[in-house]
Structure 1
Amino acid sequence: MDEKYEELLERAYSQLPPTIFESKRFEIPRVRSTIFGMRTIVHNFKEIAE
């Protein structure tokens, strides 16, 4: 069973695109905001949410 599992695992890894294994650090952009009383306006919300 172990040999068959290892074979299937190797086969699955060989069929995946290489970019899946690429690891780069996820960085959230600095928030640009303005505070008006009790409200905070985030100017670059779309950039942060992407």
Structure 2
Amino acid sequence: MTKEKIDNFVESEDERNEGHVDTRHHNFECETPDKNLGCDPGIDVAG
């Protein structure tokens, strides 16, 4: 006879964070602050 197998691929919050490094804080660091923009995004637009 066959056994019923149930696969549960839903992760808990702890399982989701385990083994992963959160690198999002680099998005909020500012290398060259601008007095008007706060942080110079480094985007040059012609015009």
Question: Normalised by the shorter chain, which TM-score bucket?
Answer: under 0.3
TM-score (norm 1): 0.27
More strand as a share of residues = 1
More helix as a share of residues = 1
TM-score (norm 2): 0.28
Greater relative CO, 1 or 2 (CA 8 Å, sep 6+): 1
